[in-house]
Every structure is written in structure tokens, then in C-alpha cells.
Structure 1
Amino acid sequence: MLKNLISRLWLIMVLVSLSPLHYLVAQNNDFEVVNKSYFGKDLLSILKDLSVSHELALDYRREEIPINILQRKNFKGQSLKEVLQDLLEPYDLVFHLEDKKLTIRTKEEGIQLEREPPKPKRTNFTLEGVVKDKETGETLPNAVVMINSTQKAAISNLDGFFTLLNVPTDTSLLSFRYLGYKSQELRLNPTMVEKPPLIVEMEVHTNELEEVVISAREEQMMKVGKQVSVVSVSPAQLSALPSLGEKDIFRSLQLLPGISGSNETSSGLYVRGGTPDQNLILFDGFTVYHVDHFYGFFSAFNADAIKDVQVYKGGFESKYGGRLSSVVDLTGKQGNTNKTGFSAGLSMMSANASFELPFAGGKGSVLLAGRRSYTDIIQSGLYKNVFALFQQEDETNGGFMGRGGRGGRGQFAQVETEPVFFFYDLNAKVTYKPSLKDILSFSFYNGQDHLDNSNEFNDEFGGGQNGNLSGTILNKTTDLTAWGNWGSSLKWGRQWNSRYYSNTVVSWSNYFSQRDLFSESEINRDDSLQTFIRGTQEDNDLYDFSFRTDHEFLLNSAHRLEFGTQWTFNKIDYNLTMNDTLQILNRNDEGLIGSLYIQDNWQIIDKLLFTPGIRLSNYSLTKQLYFEPRLSAIYELTKQLKFKAAWGHYYQFANRVVREDVSEGSRDFWLLANDDTNPVSQAVHYIAGLSYETAGFLFDIEAYRKDMSGLSEYSLRFSRPGSGETGDLFYTGTGIAQGIEFLVQRKIGKLTGWISYTLGEVIHTFPELSDEPYPALHDQTHEFKIVNSLQLGRWTFAGTWIYATGKPYTAPVGGYELTMLDGNQISYISIGEKNAFRLPDYHRLDLSATYGFNLGKGKADVGLSVFNVYNHQNVWYKTFEVLEEDVITTDVNTIGFTPNIFLQVKF
């Protein structure tokens, strides 16, 4: 049924794109006639209403606009210019209207808004430039540069460089837009472009009361890019959103359409039916394999150390490879090149600080940023709520002797432990600019989590009137868990000339996960001493050494070539041992992946952008060549309405394998594909969509389908207890993920945000695990999200609401107990069809309020964030226990109502 519904929606989209709709839209562009009536409104309110109605950027100085209330104004069929003259002349104000921008100034200023631009000296020339942050001097990647009144535009590269070919004249008007910054226009003059590059400085968008310029075109937090399935996110604006602890980039990404937002216990991204390991996470060029802090309630990245975030939800271009689902490309801050800076923050879980130091002469900078939880020193209510949840998970999924309590199934005393837990992350970046064309940078990252939940107890038992045996028990449990990432990169970027740019990166990264759960019990019963030793040791170590070089070459105004190579050496070790002697799985794999790619951004006609590309990869373990053709296209039906589509092949060589265990809980580990126990996985993407965008709103719809094969799972459901055989515990299957996403975004005004809805399904087929195809563990049919931010002076109020249908799970359908010859009882569970049941629907409301103020020469933000406002009990998972041949089911719920207070200062 769902498959038929998605197919029909695909057909509707195609019909709409071919229908006369775009002609009707094109005829609705007459912004000159005004038919409005105003009563009891002030002049500024009228001007704002006109700017929104006619999709104009409004530029004014607040103190120059009188606050007089106008009794009545009626405009019937008058031109916009006549209306503005009527409104402004009584107050000695003048205006200038050009390229959908309305500028208002006083006559006394002597500003000749209508003055003639200087006469041009050059025509159809090439303009080179660099986009920077005005305050810090940091270069800004992915800024949009456009020649007004034309279709010509460019996007700044990783180092902020841009090139515009065939600029009409050296007096042309340019516009600059970058997420989280004030939109800016610049009129060229012959002197300005004599000595390239042109330096363009942009200002951060703030909500201060003393702000005097307001633009109606500010996009503040999230922007859907012109490329297919690409979203840009502003880390600087994320603090407005409610969070469990502090502003979090990956938690914010989960609010985007097509990315699951109901995974409280993981910061990983489930993108369009993919799993977190199928996402390529790049931070300054090195790969990050695990993004969770504190069991996933926080992501492993400090938002204060990140400058730019680009998310490719599917159909991504040829320069990215090695993953099936999506790409998240993060660019770290370089640091302030103009002056020394310091910032610090505090929440109920952690503290953070950053320090920026410029080099002499503005040649570069040093950035240091750190964050650490103080949970091993002070255990706040937030910490106790989260940790209690995971301690319960650990006890129900894999707990063993020494953790039971009197009156339960266990026979020993309850142990009250005080776990020691903390996490931290460190960022360091050194940037040096030996010339205007070169940028050298070294980036370092380390983030780790450590948990010590060890305990020891000594207890007596027996001695009752029934003649039971008596004695003592001494139990020592070692429970140590650690996981984390290391990463570093050395990058050289150079703008060789106006047409050629190259970027070379050498990188290294390491992900490790260690679990040592070991219990030793000594039972002294009537002078008889027995010793029991049991537990598991699990160790996963992944190393990534990479070299890559990327090149961009502008052939002409219609063709931009991108090409490059990448070499990645992976070494992955995994060892799982039970009871200190039984080795369940031991893998030590090494593999080399060599890749090259080329793609052409081809502007066939003014309205059609065509991007074909090819990626070739050679994998040493299989000794095969993998061919990955890709294609995307964008066609502008009108200036507001666009049709977009993408298709491509993708392969993945390092995979996170799920170790399914119904009785002890599922875990996961990384392995290299070897086409023996676990094959190279692959996917084919199909994407089509429409977007309609005005100055104030965006309406976007995309349909997608992913055909996946070579999926792997490691399951113990058919193994014999105590068996050491592992070769037949790997299972291979295929999958289909398909769906359709809807997005409505309001981009301007005091109230901004978006509403999104995703209809989708993820179906897996593993013949050896199930006779029929079944929904994947992360399958969700419906997901609905509302994200809003309201600015009132220095206050910012924000709220998010998420609703999602329940995820599937596998449940026992019966159980029985057998009494062995020695009198011991063993419980057996009969497992039902795989993922045949559904958890209850998920929904949650989060709210926050932030107040910004000046603190001496610095700035500060203080706020309150409330997670799960109405305390809805969302089910995380279910536990099962056999009691007298009956299966007892228990719901384990996620976090309820949880407030958090935070403070951030910057000097």
C-alpha cells in the first residue's frame, strides 16, 4: 500500500512539473501596483508590510523612522513608487528602489541614492574575490555571490575564494549571501577591481537592540541549497534551538526532513532509510566514524569550533565516496585573524571554552577549543536521569551475577554503585596564509567517553529454619567502558589563478570502542569454596590514513570541471571474548582503497544545470574495480520554481555490523568488507523534486528511492549456547528505502522556522533470517516536525515538536523452562518473526528561551531549555523474561521532563 502511494506521489510531481503551473507563476510578477488600506499603523509597520508583500529587502536606520501613528492611508491602483513618495516626503525621507531592495535615508544625510554609477572601464571581465567575516577575518566557504539582474552566480570554495566569469561591467551590482550573516550588496567601481582579489567582508546576523539595519532576506539557521538534496546549517545560530544539554549540531540536523528525529539515544543520523555508519562524516578533511558522547545524548562535536556545515542527504557528487547514504562535511573555525578572542560556557552537564590568537600582520591564527563534562565531580539531575536510563539498559541487557536483588530472580543482595563517568573533546587548529592565494592549516581533534561502573560486595546467605545451606559470597565486578575518536589533517589550499583552485589534504583518524565486563565470585558454603568467573571483553579499533587532492577548473562560463584522487588505508581490529577463554569473534583486516573522480558542472542553458560525474575505486581486499556513475540536474521553470533530479551508484567498504542478540541486547562493531563473511555493500539513488522559493518562504518536495545490496548482519539467534562457531553467524541481505519529503520554511521576520513531513519505508530482505521481507529496525512510516524561532528584542524563544510512528522490534512469542539432571533450570525463549511488532508512536515537545546582553566589552547569552515539556513516556525498547513459561514484557522509557540552564560569554 505504501509503495503504491509513493509511486502515485512520484507521478503527481512529474505531472506538476510539466503542467502550465509555472506559466501562471511567471505571470504573477507585477510588483508595481498597490491596493492596500492602513488605519492606526505607524510608518515603520507600513513599510515592513509593503516590503513583505512585494518581496523587497528593506534597508533603513531605525532611529530615522518617526514613530507617528498614521490615521488612515488608502492606496488604490497606485504604483509602489508613488506610494513610497506619499509616505516618506512629509518626513524628509528619500528612497532608492533597485533589484528588489528598498533603501530609505534622510535628506539631511546628503546621500544621493539615485546618483549615477561611475562610467565603466572594463566589460565582460573575470572577477576574483574572497569572502570573509568582517569581525574575525575568517574566510567563509559556500557563500553565494550573484550579479544582480542576471542569472550569473558563484559559490565560494573551501577557502572562501570565488570567481565570476563574464561580469558585464566593472560597475555591476553584486549581492552576497551566507547563512547566519547579513545579506550584502556591493556596487563595483573601476578602482575596486584593479588589483584582485576583491575582499568582501560580511557581518554576522545578531539580534541586538542597537542593530540599525534590517534586511528582509536573512536566512538564519537552515538553508536548502540549489543542489539536489543539499542543506546548509549555521552553527552560530543553533543556540536558539532547545537542547538537552547545550547547542548540538547533529541533534539539530535530526530536525531536518528526511533525517529521523526520534532517536534520543543516538546523535547518529538516520538519513532517508540509511544507518549512521552509512554517512560520511568529514571534519576538516578527516573521517569521523562515531559521533556520540554520553551514550548518544550529545554529539562528539563542539559547535563553537565549527564554522560551516553542509549536508548531502542523497545523490551526492562524485568527489565523495565510500558511503551509501549521505555526507556531512564540517569545516572547523580558523580563529580570529584580527584580534585575540575568548569565550566560555556552562550547562548542567559540561563546561566549554575557546581561545583565538591571531598571527602578526593578519597572516593566520590559532584556535583552541575544549569541552568537558563534570559528571565525575558533580552529578546533576540531568546526569542522573540519563545515566539511570542506561544503567537500567545495561542491567536488563547483559547483566549477570552480582546485580540481582533479594526477592527477584537473583539470590544475592542489591549492589548500589556510584559510577564514575565523564566525556571530553578537544579542538586545535593552526592556519597560516603565506600569500593571498595560499592557505595552510593543521587541524586536530580528540573526543572520548569513559565509564567505570565497577563494584564489590560481600554478603551472607542461608541459615534459615528450613535447613538451607548457609555461607558467604564475595563478588568483584570490573565494568569499564571507553570509546572515542582521534583525528588530524594537514591541508594546503591554493588559488593558482582566476580559473584554477586546488586543495590537498593528508589526514589520519582513529575510532576505538572498548568494553571490559568481568565478574569473579567466591562462594563459601559449609567449608566448600567455589569460584565462578564470567564476563565479556570487546575491543574494536579502526584506523584511517588518507591522502586526497581536489581540483576545480573553470573552462568557461558554462563548464566548471572538478577532479581529484583519494587513497585510504584502513586497518580494523575486532575481538569478542566470553568468560576470558572463549573467543567468539576475532578479525584483523587491512585494506587499501584508491579512487579517482571527475565531474562537470555544465550550464547547458541559462535555466538548466547538468552535473554528470564518474568515480572509480579499486579495493585491495577484493581486487576489483568499482564504477560509480552519477548524474544530477536542476531546471528553472521560473525564477521561483525549480525541478531537480539525481541518480547515482555508491559503494561502501568499511561497515558497521549490527550484532543482534535478543536476550543480551544488540551491539555493533566496524569491519572491513571482504566478500567472504561480509560483502562490499552498494546502493543506487533515485531522487526527484520541486522547490518554490520567494524572498520570504520556501516550499520544497523531494521523492527518493535507494536500492541497497550487500547489507550485513551478525546474529546469535540461531547459535547454540556456548558454541564457538562464528563463520555462519554473518548474514547477507538487500534493502529498499523509499519515501517522499515535504518542507515549508519561513525565512524572514521575527518568527522563522519550518514544518516538515516525511513518508517513508525501509524494507530488508535477509532470506536466512526471515522467510519474508521485513521492516528494518529504523523504519518509520510517518514523521512530522515543527521548528520555530521567535525574536523579540534581546529575547529569542524557540520550540520544536516531533511526532513519529513507532519503530519495529522482534519479540518472543513464548518460552519454557527445562530442569537439568543437576537440578538447575534453564530458560528458553521462542522468538517471533523478525521485526513483526511496533513500538508505540513517539512524540515530544522542547522549548527554550535565550536572553542576550552586553557584558563589559563582551557579549553573553543566558537561557533555559526544557526537554520533553509535557513529560510524554516514549518507549525506548522492551525487555522480556520467562517466568513459569510465561513471557513478561517490560517497557523501558526514554527521558521525561528535563530542564537545563546554560550560560555563554564571549570577549
Structure 2
Amino acid sequence: MSKTKNSFFLFFIFVWLWVGLLPVQSQSTVISEDFQDIPLKRALNTISKKYKVKIAYNSRLVRDIKITQSIKNLSLNDALKQILSGHPIGFSIIKKNKILLYKKSDTESASSPPTTIDISGKVKDITTGELLPFANIRILGTRRGTVTNVDGFFALPKVPNDEIILEVSYIGYQTAKVKTKADQTSFVIQLNPIVSELKEVVVEYQAKMVQPSSDVGQMSINPAKFASLPNLGENDIFRTLQWLPGINATNETTAGLRIRGSSPDQNLIYFDGFSIYHTDHFLGIFSAFNANAIKDIQVYKGGFPAKFGGRVSSVIDITGKSGDQYKPRVGVGGNLVSGNMIVELPFKNNSSLLIAGRRSYSDLFATNVYNSLANYVSTQPRIRYLFSPEDSEGIGTNVNFYDLNVKYTIRPTKKDIFSISVYNGQDQLNIKSNFEGEILLPPPSLNGRNNTCNTKINVVPNPNGGPGPLPGTNPGEDRDADLDLLVNDNLDWGNTGVGLRWGRLWNQKFYSNIKLGYSRYYSNYRGSSEEVQTDADSIYTIQASASQDNILTDVTFRWDNDWTISDDHTLSFGLLATFNDIQYEQLIDECIVFERRNISGTQYTLYTQDAIKPFSNLQINAGARLTYYNVNQQFYFAPRASFQYDITNRLKLKGAWGKYYQFINQINTSQLRESGYDFWTLPDGLDIPIIQSDHFILGGTYQTKLFTIDIEAYYKSLQGLVFYDFKPNEARRMGPNHGSNGGGGNPPPPPPGGGPPPPPPPRGGGGGRGEPLDVEKYLTGEGISQGVDVLLQKKKGKYTGWLGYSFNQLFYKFQTINLGEYFTPSVSVPHEFKTVHMLSLRNWDFSATFVYGTGQGYRLPATFFERIRNGSLEVDDDDVSTNVRNLQPGDTPRLSDYHRLDMAVTYNFKFGKRGIGNLSFSVFNVYDQQNIKEISFQELETEKGDPGEPAQGELVQFNVFQLGFTPNLSFSLRF
């Protein structure tokens, strides 16, 4: 792996130097010419052609003017001054190779310097007054331009004080061209949103949903178009993001985005100034964000700037709507799972209020769609971890969720904006399950529990047999028994966030944002079981309980500044402090502590980011973060750099390198899936290391009026990976499904064939300000993720959409797995192909999405391999899809390839004077493909062995499937 890394690094450096050296010859243009009584126009044309500069002027301005000048080794600026001296003509060098000539005023002397002004302004929605962040502003006919900040403000220094045209574009809006006037320095630019024309006309173009950026790894997303895509009941932003190349779409869950091979906790999810730590509803079926309350989404898949930190994979930066500034608006909507409502109120003091909420109504009535989703949830491994699906008789599943967004924004002056944004989301899950069947079990034992525990074991004689032994007296004797098990699982989880923000435009070149964010995540699990074991002699009744609590508090203060020094130089800098407090406790029977960890820590960070354009076609961004982490009292320096080089107006080359650190971890448990049971903690730098990663990215973008092609190759290293590998169900009893596993957020699988048992790691304290932890439960290691993302997008016309392809190689290395060599983990998806198609015809929107991906890996218990090879375990090829006999150490057996087609049709209509609405019908998994979510294995005993010999058994496979054919109907009204 080191060879691959070194090769990639050398290639990256070579391209960087090549790009930097390409325009060196133009950085110091020296002019030497002898003009003797020739027309000024001819002299200007000679300079333009010979020295490769563009000179714009009105031909009447230079008519009948002749010059006689001898120029020797002068710069372009000095040469033009000499040529135009004595004539009423001034000039402005817009860029080093672009010159604009203009007529001087009567009061302007011939020796006056070029006339330029600094302009600034804001970009807003013409219908609602919403300020539009990250809109593109370009001076038409030049390469000069800028981007609005999060509050829709922009600045362009040293613009010619003459008539120029500003081209303003924003995803989902019609592009505007604004003609400026001399001495005009302030602008309010209003854009019209692109909406479906509800008339009998041909739609020439529709709003884009995705816009790749020339910046490395960045994409802009338009939430307004989410409703036209197929969905499972909600306009889901994370499910839409999964259609982008590089973001996994084959796991059918939005509980966490897997971006370029990284785990979900390595993504920074940032919403209106605060972090969101739990991002799903309904155990991953829906994301926790209401699309109706979102204005803009910026996705950074890697190589993100120094402004962002604290994560090693990617950033999802979400900006919430502020509410309509002009008219009150109300919207309602619903589907077969939940209902939603949004209210926008403007006030006279130049302020606005937005309230948006969603709630499931399964507690009132259950639809077929809800029942399908609830059944899917009840078969997840976090719930069904002991028996095969065929043994289960579900008694009942109840899932409820809600979320609420409230945002108040006030603009007391033209230069200030204050806002407070509140988010609250919560889920409640209750599943009651019953398992019945015959099984081979050891006698139950107390496993060291004392009488103060909540576990109750009662033994009575079997009326059809003799009295049985007391629990734990014969632990080595297995017995045939009838089993009746009733399990009750309750899980509550949610996230609350509050963001306060003050944005201030100090002058046309300096803008500041001060933010204070509070976020609290919690997850509470309570489980209980009553188990009746009936053997030939006795009836055992066992009552047990389990609980798990995780509370995370985040308080962050940050001060961000943007200083536009010149037209080709912008400096961003700031400081932030983040305080985290995390509590985690896992109990069995209210007395056995499997894990208890309480820890708090603070990060203090300074950052700077310098964007400079040394040449008109090259932009370089260089920055760094310096973080002090008080838990281990260490400093962490994270430099970063990127470039964008315009080879032509259509073709751009881009690249990035950076170092990233992460000071908070979500520990993946081995027996439970992604959502809820995984717990957050702070690293101490010792037993739980700080995660760090190096990113190397190289790519290019080619754009025409109709199409965009974007390609990025990446390589990133990962150090400090942590997995939790302790199984509480094994501490109580080795069940028949011991060792089963699915995909999701599980730790890396042991290699086929097992290997020597790992040596016990040393025990140590947690360090920092946390309680001691049992390091025997943790595996630490490293990883490598490398690959290519390709996007081909059609962005205009009645038909729009894109094709996406992702290639990814993911490798992990842990000292106690696969003899310490790299191996492919189960979460790796090497190939994924996606297509998104949208067609707009008058009032109708049609859409279809398709995904095809490599099947995810899964885990086979190492003991099975040993027994298969010694002949004590038989494999039925009709029941087991994996040819386990041919697997080698380090191999990862895979599920069958995943593929799915979704379709939707939406009808848009008007009602009343202001009302608009839509009615949508969508189908998830149109052809009902039986994609496998995970598999588990159960050993069926076929023959008891002689004393000292192993029993003979048969290995049987059980499949848990993804969602099948799922139709949905939804509507939306807005007035």
C-alpha cells in the first residue's frame, strides 16, 4: 500500500508543478516596440497579437489618432501609459491580459490613473426575498467573478467604472444579466426561480438539481427539485444525495452517508451553525431533515477547505430557509407515512419567521406502506440477533417520529443580519417479538451475577420427566429443549440543536459571521426478555433485561471572516471552540456494566485560508488549521492546499491535498447495526486514538451549455480506526446464531480460516478527563480508501439528469486480524453505477432512478471454517450461497450484486389566486428485486459426537431482504 501511496503523491506533485509552470511565461510581459507615425488602432492590434493580450475599445475612440513612440523593455501598464499619453483615453487592466480603453471625462487630466471602483451587493429570490448563498457572479466577457457568501453578499473590487454586464447564476434559478452604470457601487440582484409553467407550452428548460463546482470535491444541491424524484414517503435530502457518485446508495438507509469508503461518523453534518449527530428517522428509512425547511446544500466529498474541520471524510453544509419576507405563506403536505406543514410570516421590522414540522401518524392509523417499512425495521440485526427469521413470529412493531424547525431572521440594517434557528427531532421504536422452536442449549447459568441483579431464573420439574439440575451445575452438558422466547425492545433517540448567528458587512471588502451553536444527541435503549426452556426433565423460566444510554452535548462558538483584499486575492480566517460532553453506559440486568464511559473535552482552533489568482486562469487555495485538544493536551496542525486551472473556458483541472483530524468517534459495535446502538465517545489519544487522514485528489471538469462531465480520482489514508468488539449476548448465552453478521456499520470481519487467537491487549485507563475503559473490547487499526468518481450531467432541456459511476477500493489493517495484513472490509462496495432521469412536459414531471452495485461483504464465523475443513460441519450448496471451501485468508465473501429501479410521476397544478400544488405517485423497487440486506448462519446438529469428538452439523443460511415493491402517494399544497 505504501508503494501506491507514494506513486499517487509523486504524480500529484508533478501535476501541481506542471500547472504552476504553464503560465510562467506570461507573468512578466515586457514590451519593446518602435511605432513611427502609425494609427493608434494598428499599434494596439500589434500589442494584442504579439503579446497575447486582449484590448477592448470603441473604434470611434481611436479614429484619426496617430502615434510616434519608441518603447523599450516596459511593462504592459507603462507601455500603455506612454502610447496613450497626450490623448483623452484612459485604460483599465481588468486582468494581466485584458485591457479596457475608455474616454476620459473633461475634468480628468491626461495623467490620471485608470478609473476603477469597488462594487458589492446581495442576491435574493425575487418572490420571497430569501438571500441566496453561494450564487455565482461573473463579469461577462472576462474570467473575473466571485461567489456570494452564506448570507447572499458579494464583493468585486477594482471593477472598471463604466458599463459592464454582471452574469448572476444560482442553481434552480434563471440566470440574470445585470448592466451596471458608472459610479454604481451597490447592487440588489433578484433572481427568478425556475418553476414548471402550468400552461399549454413547451418547457425549454427546467431547474438543475445538482451543480458540480470547479472547486475540488464540491457540489451544490437544489432542494426544490426533490419532490419530483421517487421516494419512500418523504422528500429525503440524504436519499437524494446518495444518487451522487461517491456516496453509497446500495444500503437503502439514510442513517449515515458512506462517502468514498468512509464511515458515517466521519462526515460533518452542519445545519445553520450547529452539528447534527444523528441524521435519520425510522431506523434509517428517512433522514432527519425536512426538505421544506432547507434553502441550500453544499457537499464536500473530500479536500474541503480549512474553514471546516473536526471530521476526516466530508462535509454536508446545510442552510435553512429564513422565510418569505414579502407575503405570509402556508404549505401542507402528506404521504402514506407522515404529514408536514410549513408557515412563513414576514414582519414590518424587516424580519421573518419560518416554522416547519413533520410527524408520522402510525399511532393513529397504519397504511400498507407503513406496515412494509415497519416489517423491514423489525428484521434488522439490531432487533433480531438471536434466531433466524423463520423462527420469528412478530407480535407488533410501532415506530413514530417527528421533527420541528423554527427560524427567526431580522435585518436591522443593510449591513447586518441576525438569526436564531432551532431544530428538534425524535424517534420512538417499540418491537415485541416471539420466537418458538426446538434448539440445542446448554443449561442456563448465572454467569457471575449476584442476587441483587434483575435476572430471575426459576426451575420447576417437567410433568413429563424428572427434576432437572439447578442452573449452572452441569455447564458442559448440552440438551435438547423447546424454547419460547418473548422479547420487548424500546428505543428512543433524537437530536436537538440551536444556532445563533450575527452576520455583518463591515465594508465592501470585509464580512464577518459570529455563530454560537448548541447540539444535544441522545439514544436510550431498554430491552427485556422472558425465556421458557423445556427439556426432558425441567422447565426453566429466565427473565433478563438490558439497557444502553448515550448522551452527547456539543457547544460551539465560531467567528468567521472573509476579507477581499483585491480582485484576485481573498483571505478567510477565524477561530472556534467546541466543548463536548459524552456519557455512555451499557448494562445487562441492571448490574453488569459492559461499558461505562463519561468524558468531556474542548477543542480550540485557529484557521486561515488564502485564495489567490496569480494568473487569470489559475487559482490557488492554501490554508491550515491549528487545534489544541485539551483531553491529551496536544496541538494538531492541519495544512491544506488546492488549485483550479482553466485549460480553456470549458475545461478545468483541479486538485487538492490536505491533512485532517477528528476528535470525536462513533464506535461501531459488532453485534448491532448502524443506528442507535453505535455510541459516541471522545478519543483520549491513547486507548482510543485521534483519527487522522491525508487526502490526495486530482480531477477535471468539462462543461458545455448542455452537458457537464466531472471526474475526480482520490486517495486517502486513515489512521486511528476503532471498532468495539464485545458481544453482551455471548456473555449471557452462546445462542444458535452466534457469529452471524450483516452489513452496515459492523467492524471488519475476521479472515476466513480464522487464525491464531489474538493476544490479550494491555488494560489501561481512558486518559484525559474520562473514566477508565476496558481496552480488551476495542480494536484499533488503519485503512486506505482510493477510487474514482465520474459524473455525466445533462443540465438543460425538457429532459435533464445524470449518470454516475464510482470505483472504490477500501482496505483495513488491524494487528489481530488477517495476521496484521490489509484486507477488504464488509462495507466495501467496489463498483456502483447510478442514473437519474427527469422529464418535464407541461404540468407533468416524470422521473426514474436506477442503481447497480457490487454486493456488500459479510462475515463468516472463523470456527465454521475450521469445522468445515475437519469434516465436522457439512455445507449444503443449495442452502449456502458462498463456496466457503474456496475462500482464502483475507477474502471477503459478498452478497449478490444489488440493483433497483424507482419511478415517479408528479402532476403540478394551480388553485385560487396564489395556490400551487402537486400530486405525486412513486414506486420504490419497481420490479420487486429481492436484494439481500444481510445473511446469517445457523448450525443444525445432525449427529452427536462421541466423547471427546465434535458433533456433526449442517450449516444453513438465512437471508434478510431489502425493501421490495413499495408504492407511495403524496401531495403538497402551498398558498
Same fold (TM over 0.5): yes
- Which letter does structure 2 place at the counterpart of 1:177? S
User: Equivalents in 2 of 1:661, 1:428: separation in Å?
Assistant: 38
1:440 correspondence with 2:418 = yes
Q: CA deviation at 1:2?
A: 15
Which position in structure 1 is the counterpart of 2:357?
370
- Alpha-carbon distance between aligned partners in 1 of 2:956 and 2:965, rounded to the nearest angstrom: 28
Work out whether 1:851 is the aligned partner of 2:907: yes
Quick one: which of 244, 253, 258 aligns to 1:265? 253
Counterpart residue number, 1:389: 376
Is 1:729 the counterpart of 2:777? The answer is yes
Instruction: Find out whether 1:741 has 2:785 as its counterpart.
Output: no
Residues 237-276 of structure 1 aligned to structure 2 (within 5 Å): 237-276=225-264
Report the CA distance shift for 1:860/1:665 in structure 2 as closer, same or farther (over 3 A): closer
Does residue 902 in structure 1 map to residue 902 in structure 2?
no
Higher relative contact order (CA 8 A, sep 6+): 2
Q: Deviations over 1:661-713 (max 9, x none)?
A: 39999952111001232100100000001111111111111100001101111
Structure 1 residues 17 and 700 mapped into 2: Cα distance closer, same or farther (>3 Å)?
Answer: farther
Q: Distance in 1 between matches of 2:389 and 2:837?
A: 46
Asked if 1:131 is matched to 2:123, the reply is: yes
Partners of 2:3 and 2:840 in 1: CA distance: 42
Letter of the 1:184 partner, please give it.
A
Amino acid aligned to 2:249: G
Structure 1 CA distance, aligned partners of 2:557 and 2:919? Answer: 43
Q: Distance in 2 between matches of 1:642 and 1:720?
A: 56
Residues 487-532 of structure 1, C-alpha deviations (whole Å, 9 max, x = no match): 0110000111100000000010011111111124689999999652
2:932 maps to amino acid:
V
Supply the distance in 1 between the matched residues of 2:924 and 2:10 (Cα, whole angstroms): 37
Measure the CA separation in 2 of the matches of 1:777 and 1:457.
29
| Mapped partners of 1:808, 1:329: distance in 2 | 31
CA contact (8 A) 1:719 1:729 kept: no
What's the % identity of the aligned pairs?
A: 39
Selected match of 1:863 from 917, 920, 934: 920
State the match for 2:835 in structure 1: 786
Matches within 5 A, 1:742-781: 742-771=790-819, 772-781=821-830
Q: Does 1:199 align with 2:267?
A: no
Is residue 171 of structure 2 the alignment partner of residue 179 of structure 1? yes
Say how many residue pairs are matched.
Answer: 788
Distance 2:795 2:308 in 1: 30
2:592 to 550, 565, 582: 582
> Which residue is equivalent to 2:756?
none
Paired AA for residue 571 in structure 1: D
CA RMSD of aligned residues (A): 3.9
- The match for 1:418 among 375, 396, 402 is 396
Distance 1:604 1:214, change over 3 A: farther
1:160: which partner in 2? 152
Q: Deviations over 1:359-416 (max 9, x none)?
A: 115x11000000011122221111211221221225873348xx999xx6xxxxx765
- 1:426-505 maps to which residues of 2 (within 5 A)? 426-454=404-432, 477-505=487-515
Counterpart of 2:700?
690
Cα distance in 2, alignment partners of residues 9 and 212 from structure 1: 54
CA distance in 2, matches of 1:302, 1:906: 16
The residue number in structure 1 matching 2:854 is 805
1:586-628 CA-to-partner distances (Å, cap 9, x unmatched) read 0001000000101111011100000000100000111100000
2:173 is matched by which residue type in structure 1?
Y
Unaligned ranges ≥5, structure 1: 24-115, 409-413, 819-828
What secondary structure, in the 3-state scheme, does the structure 2 residue paired with 1:436 have? coil
String of CA shifts for 1:86-127, please: whole Å, max 9, x gaps.
xxxxxxxxxxxxxxxxxxxxxxxxxxxxxx99x999942111
Answer yes or no: is the 8 Å Cα contact 2:483–2:534 preserved in 1.
yes
Q: Which moved more, 1:655-664 or 1:857-866?
A: 655-664
Which string of whole-angstrom CA distances, capped at 9 and with x for unpartnered residues, describes residues 434-469 of structure 1? Answer: 00100000000011110122479999x999996689
After alignment, is 712-721 or 734-743 more displaced? 712-721
Partners of 1:378 and 1:206 in 2: how far apart? Answer: 35
Report the AA paired with residue 847 of structure 1: M
Contact 2:716 2:785 in 1 (8 A): yes
Secondary structure of 1:774's counterpart equals coil
2:624 aligned with 1:614, yes or no?
yes
Partner Cα distance (1:732, 1:814) in 2? 23
Alignment match, 1:326:
314
Q: Distance in 1 between matches of 2:582 and 2:674?
A: 25
Secondary structure at the residue paired with 1:869?
coil
Question: Cα–Cα, structure 1 residues 721 and 472, in superposed 2: closer, same or farther, change >3 Å?
Answer: closer
Q: Superposed, which structure 2 residues align to 1:229-378 within 5 Å?
A: 229-361=217-349, 363-378=350-365
**Is the contact between residue 540 and residue 572 of structure 1 (CA under 8 Å) also seen in structure 2?**
yes
2:577 is matched with which residue?
A: 567
Letter in 1 for 2:618: L
The match for 1:84 is: none
**Does the CA-based 8 Å contact 2:663-2:691 persist in structure 1?**
yes
- 1:620-659 → structure 2 map (5 Å cutoff): 620-659=630-669
Label 1:794 to 1:521 Cα distance change in 2 as closer, same or farther (>3 A).
Answer: same
Would the aligned equivalents of 2:303 and 2:695 in 1 still touch at CA under 8 Å? yes
- Larger Cα Rg: Structure 1 or Structure 2? 2
State the match for 2:711 in structure 1.
701
- Contact between 2:403 and 2:425, CA under 8 Å: does it hold in 1? yes
1:145–1:3 Cα change, 3 Å? same
Q: Partner letter of residue 282 of structure 2?
A: F
Q: Distance in 2 between matches of 1:536 and 1:877?
A: 24
Contact 2:12 2:696 in 1 (8 A): no
Shift of 1:174: 1.0
Structure 2 CA distance, aligned partners of 1:563 and 1:16?
25
Q: Say whether the 8 Å CA contact 1:814–1:886 is kept in structure 2.
A: no
Code of the residue aligned with 2:405 in structure 1: it is N
Q: What displacement does 1:774 show?
A: 1.3
Mean CA deviation greater in 795-804 or 514-523:
514-523
What SS does structure 2 have at the residue aligned with 1:901? strand
Distance across 2 between alignment mates of 1:303 and 1:13: 41
Give the secondary structure class of the aligned counterpart of 2:928.
coil
Q: Deviations over 1:409-435 (max 9, x none)?
A: xxxxx7652333210100000000100
Q: Which amino acid aligns with 2:784?
A: I
**Cα distance, 1:876 vs. partner?**
0.5
1:383 counterpart SS class: helix
Call closer, same or farther: CA 1:666–1:856 in 2, change over 3 Å.
closer
Give the residue type in structure 2 aligned to 1:880. Answer: F
Letter in 1 for 2:188: I
Structure-2 change in CA distance of 1:666 and 1:252 (3 Å):
closer
**Post-superposition offset of 1:880:** 1.3
Whole-angstrom distance in 2 between the partners of 1:6 and 1:697? 35
Residue 418 of structure 1 aligns to a residue in which SS? strand
Q: 1:666 to 1:496 in 2, by over 3 A?
A: closer
Whole-angstrom CA distance in 1 between matches of 2:907 and 2:150: 33
Distance apart, 1:863 and its partner CA? 1.0
State the secondary structure of the residue aligned to 2:395: coil
> Which stretch shows the higher mean deviation, 143-152 or 515-524?
515-524
Q: Is the Cα contact below 8 Å between 2:199 and 2:842 reproduced in 1?
A: no
Aligned residue for 1:209? Answer: 198
Number of the residue aligned with 1:796: 845
Q: Report the alpha carbon displacement of residue 6 of structure 1 after superposing the two structures with TM.
A: 13
